[in-house]
Amino acid sequence: MNHLNEALAPIVEKIKKFRSLYEQNEMAVRDQIVNPILRNLEWNPKNPEGVRPNVSTEEGVPDYSLIKNGKKILFVEAKKLGVDIEQREVIRQLAKYSFGEGTKYGVLTNGAVWVLIRSFEEGTTVTERIVWKTDLENEELPAVLRKITTISKTNIEHIENLVKKVQILDEIWQSLLDEPEEMIKGLMPVVKSIISQGYPDYQFEDTEIEDLLKERVKEIISGPSGEGTSSETSIESIPWRGGGSPRKMKLKGEVFELRNSFEILVNTANWLIKNNKLKLSDCPVGVGRGKRNLINKEPKHKYGDDFRAPKKLSNELWIETHNSTAGCINDTKRLLEKFGVSSDILTIE
């Protein structure tokens, strides 16, 4: 497994060079892409003690059955490069294999993209059971390794813990993306220290440093030329600068008195319910590019973690309100936009 990082680079080059072949030929994907990766994850495709191809199950014939200590522990299903492996039908097929044989997880791949799914999770659709997704062509190598090594032969018995660690790191990063002002606050003392030690003859106002950090953090979040943003996250994150806590909010002419910042979210969600925008069938409702739920039928996030500050809405749904004032405002704006309502109708005083 130590050589996996070295093996991935030539595999990615092979995908780019012979893309048309892999888009038409599933066996080529298996033999020339999937097998080398499995081998570097300590699953030798030529050793039937650990890997058995095309073994029948009650639900069908998965491409690979991975075995450890004589027990089936993971199924891997490979598709042609052109196949969207996040389609419901494709995920459902693998979930049937895994659930039918009592394995907790399964892996889907088209060679370039790899997805780990849970075979079953109460209260979720098949697409919501995606645990992680990694793209060999478009992700940095450390991110790919962090995810894909969770299914190595050595790690597979500790997969629950490793998966949780991946999710925690992703959620921490997402929280920074959702509230970049927290990132800026953390960087401010670092930059000021560098200036005082390295450039003592120059004086900078805090606003000069803050403006620079805002520009650079925005570039990190948006990516080159604004790529990677979506309509859901295109709303500018704004810090609350009103002094103290907000006392009043308006939604399209309706006025709400506020005692706590979380009421901004609760009032907005109830307003959407009253206007037939937010329904039970819309759940779970996520925000930003992260994995956390904002609204759900039960107070739980995607991976089963409890909401930290749940509040019940007028139609018995639950909303997560654990956030700063600025975070509540930004989540509220995203929530409105998600349901086709301009966030401009919201004013906070």
Helix (H) or strand (E) holding 98: helix 88-101
125 and 258 belong to one structural domain: no
Domain assignment present for residue 243? The answer is no
Structure tokens at 70: 């004589």
State pLDDT tens for residues 53-64: 988 888 889 899
CA-to-CA dists, residue 312 to 65, 177, 187, 294, angstroms: 44, 27, 36, 12
- pLDDT value of position 103: 87
Domain assignment present for residue 9? The answer is yes
| Structural domain boundaries enclosing 206 | 179-226
> Which residues touch 107 (CB under 8 Å, ≥6 apart)?
74, 75, 76, 77, 94, 114, 115, 116, 117, 151
214 and 145 belong to one structural domain: no
Could you tell me the pLDDT band of residue 230, with boundaries at 50, 70 and 90?
A: very low
How confident is the model over 14-41, as a mean pLDDT? 95
- pLDDT value of position 54: 87
Could you tell me the pLDDT band of residue 290, with boundaries at 50, 70 and 90?
A: low
How confident is the model over 165-190, as a mean pLDDT? 79
Domain assignment present for residue 52? The answer is yes
Residue 278 burial by CB count (10 A; 0-12/13-18/19+): exposed, middle or buried? buried
Reading across the β-sheet that carries 293-296, which strands appear in turn? 285-286, 293-296, 318-320, 310-312
Identify any residues that bridge with 319 across adjacent strands, giving them in sequence order.
295, 311
45 and 148 belong to one structural domain: yes
Structure tokens at 119: 């075979």
13 and 155 belong to one structural domain: yes
Q: How far apart are CA 278 and CA 255, in angstroms?
A: 20
164 and 192 belong to one structural domain: no
- pLDDT value of position 2: 57
162 and 198 belong to one structural domain: no
Higher pLDDT among residues 139 and 107, named by residue: 107
Global model pTM greater than 0.75 = no
Q: How far is CA 43 from the centre of its chain?
A: 27
Query: Does 229 score more than 50 pLDDT?
Result: no
> Which residues touch 58 (CB under 8 Å, ≥6 apart)?
100, 101
The size of the chain, in residues, is 349
Domain assignment present for residue 152? The answer is yes
Using DSSP's 3-state secondary structure scheme, residue 162 falls into helix
Q: Are 11 and 33 in contact (CB under 8 A)?
A: yes
> Which residues touch 263 (CB under 8 Å, ≥6 apart)?
249, 256
337 and 289 belong to one structural domain: yes
- pLDDT value of position 225: 39
CA-to-CA dists, residue 235 to 38, 194, 264, 346, angstroms: 41, 32, 17, 13
* CA end-to-end distance (rounded Å), the chain: 56
Of 105, 139, 171, which marks where a domain is finished? 171
203 and 271 belong to one structural domain: no
**How many separate domains does the chain show?**
3
Could you tell me the pLDDT band of residue 86, with boundaries at 50, 70 and 90?
A: confident
User: Which CATH number does the domain housing residue 74 bear?
Assistant: 3.90.1570
Q: Mean pLDDT highest for which of 138-152, 205-219, 299-313?
A: 138-152
